[in-house]
Amino acid sequence: MADVAIEALGAEPSDAARPPVSAAFGTKVKAFDDAVDDLFDRVRGNVIADRVMYGASAVGDFSLIWQIASVARALRGGEREAVRLSVALAAESALINVGVKSLFRRARPAWEHPRPHGLRRPRSSSFPSGHATSGFMAATLLATGRPRSRPFWFALAVVVASSRVHVKIHHGSDVAAGAVIGVGLGRMVRKIWPL
């Protein structure tokens, strides 16, 4: 049971002896990842960019930013919507961290330098990005019926998701796939649990 909880929170049990399966992603994906990483190399080390991206990555851990949004929604009278979002985030975390990541076991990007800000480095597979999956699912649900707020929620999801590439915890393709999965999960939740 403890191993399931550890995996659900984004890490593998210490006795897991699973080799990474990065080669399965092919040369086109590697080229995409390298191009995205080169773009982020241009701003890595910039004090402001690092603070924003490391902060966004930290508040994305355990879907904290999205749970805060859920509580804020509940405090403004949207209790049913808040419950739906919290339950969906818990289900997404279990599905992605215990299910999908265990199928791919992709190695995380190499990073030999000390991180300028303390940041938890998960031991789970890199693919897909849980920050991207939860962020885009939450944005899809939070923007439902609120077209004016849609740009805000999706911009926040983009910042949280892309922060994972900036801090070298995910490859660009992990984030892109996580975004697509997240939107799909959000749409599925809306159909299964309409408000």
Q: Cα torsion for 179, 143, 72, 65, to the nearest 10°? A: 10
Q: Is residue 19 part of a domain?
A: no
Structural domain total, the chain: 1
Report residue 159 as tokens: 């910042």
Q: How far is residue 5 from each of residues 12, 93, 127, measured CA to CA in Å?
A: 9, 11, 19
Residue 38 counted as domain residue:
yes
Is 16 among the domain residues? no
Write out the chain's pLDDT in tens, 195 residues. 445 444 444 444 444 444 454 555 588 999 999 999 999 999 998 999 999 999 999 999 999 999 999 999 999 999 999 999 999 999 999 999 999 988 988 988 887 777 666 677 777 888 999 999 999 999 999 999 999 999 999 999 999 999 999 999 999 999 999 999 999 999 999 999 998
4 lies in some domain: no
CATH number of 38's domain: 1.20.144.10
Taking residue 48's Cβ as centre, other Cβ atoms within 10 Å add up to 8
Q: Can you give the residue range of the structural domain that contains 111?
A: 27-192
Does residue 5 sit within a domain?
A: no
Is 9 within a domain?
no
Other C-beta atoms closer than 10 Å to the C-beta of 102 total 15
Residue 99 lies in a domain: yes
Q: Is residue 112 part of a domain?
A: yes
